[in-house]
Structure 1
Amino acid sequence: MHALSQQDGTVGNLRNRATGLVTIATLIGSFTGFFGVGTKDKPLPVWFAVGLILFILLIVSCAVYVLLPLRDWSFGPDPQDILDSVETDNDRLRWAQALGMHGAIRENEGEIRKRANVYTIGVLLLGLEAMYAVAVSLAAR
């Protein structure tokens, strides 16, 4: 049960970090567009604005995937399995519960890995967005 609880914490941490990605991506886009390149005399080039928007959309897409609700997610033994169990022996019932939780841990782990990989892609995109913003800011001067 402790492992299932840790998995829930891991998903919560990924979700918190994903919202941070969105915040940082939009800040980079906003500050770069407003302060870095665009001025009254020399407006922001359209291609630069489109590039920033694409980076932000990709990063937000990664974050949304991480934030989506989990389907068929298990946090502990399924009460219905316990109620449906025909086992009267406590040891057999505990064994069945442990097997069920072990299966849930393995299934949850696959979903956590997928979301962690998408989060990693979002982090890489954020780094690329920052490099893009700096490169264009330098090139525009």
Structure 2
Amino acid sequence: MSESQTSNSQLSPNVPDSNPDPDAASRKLAFDTVMAQMTAQDRTLTNLRNRATGLFSIASFVIALSSTLGLVGAGGDKFPLWAAITLLAIFFVQGLLIMAVLWPVYFHFGPDPIQMLDPPISHTGEAPSEAMVGDLIHWSGENVHKLHVRSLMYAVSVLLLLTEVAILVAAIIAVRSFQ
């Protein structure tokens, strides 16, 4: 055995264990990971709400365009009643879906401050408790479900916008073909 190996093996029983809790590092890693996930979920929710607002603005423009075409059609053409009623119904459903996306949601953004006090982790650098990490992982899963539902409502709203445009084009073609 070399001299350096001998001196290290002789010193190791006298050196206190720097990490008495072997799971502390993995809990700290899990805590950091789930906090990063929650931050990303918050950004995703904000982006989804911004997109929903823009989508509703575009849908409103389509409805305004259709009413303008109905009132000021070339040669006194009237916008078909079926198209007007269908567009109004689609716009109403789309408005409800977008309102649901924008509606406040009980969302988890991080640990409960009370949990952080028992045991204290903020200033000591100690690993978070297993219960806190477990709660955060559970809440992150709940957030994913809420984001999925809102994303689905947004996707349906986009399909409704495409339907609105198709109906508008169909109505214009119908009016022009009967001249």
Q: Show the 5 A alignment for 1:89-128.
A: 90-91=126-127, 93-128=128-163
Q: Does 1:64 align with 2:106?
A: no
Q: Show the 5 A alignment for 1:1-141.
A: 1-35=35-69, 38-39=72-73, 41-71=76-106, 73-83=107-117, 85=118, 87=119, 90-91=126-127, 93-141=128-176
- 1:26-65 per-position Cα deviation (integer Å, ceiling 9, x unaligned): 1111112213775372232332221111121111111101
Q: Which has the higher contact order (CA 8 A, sep 6+)?
A: 1
> How many residue pairs were aligned?
137
Which letter does structure 2 place at the counterpart of 1:13?
A: N
**CA spacing shift, 1:137–1:36, aligned 2, 3 Å:** farther
**CA spacing shift, 1:44–1:38, aligned 2, 3 Å:** farther
- 1:73-107 per-position Cα deviation (integer Å, ceiling 9, x unaligned): 11011112334x4x57944x433322221111101
Normalising by the residue count of structure 2, what TM-score does the alignment of the two structures yield? 0.69
User: Whose helix proportion is higher, 1 or 2?
Assistant: 1
Which letter does structure 1 place at the counterpart of 2:110?
A: G
Following the alignment from structure 1 to structure 2, what is the Cα–Cα distance between the partners of residues 135 and 44?
11
**CA spacing shift, 1:46–1:95, aligned 2, 3 Å:** same
Q: Which runs of 5+ in 2 are unaligned?
A: 1-34
C-alpha RMSD over aligned residues: 2.1
> Displaced runs of 4+ in structure 1, greater than 6 A?
none
Q: Point out the structure with max Rg over C-alpha.
A: 2
Which letter does structure 2 place at the counterpart of 1:139?
A: A
Contact 1:37 1:140 in 2 (8 A): no
Contact 1:37 1:137 in 2 (8 A): no
Which letter does structure 2 place at the counterpart of 1:140?
A: V
- Which residue number corresponds to residue 18 of structure 2? none
State, as a whole percentage, how many aligned pairs show the same letter: 31
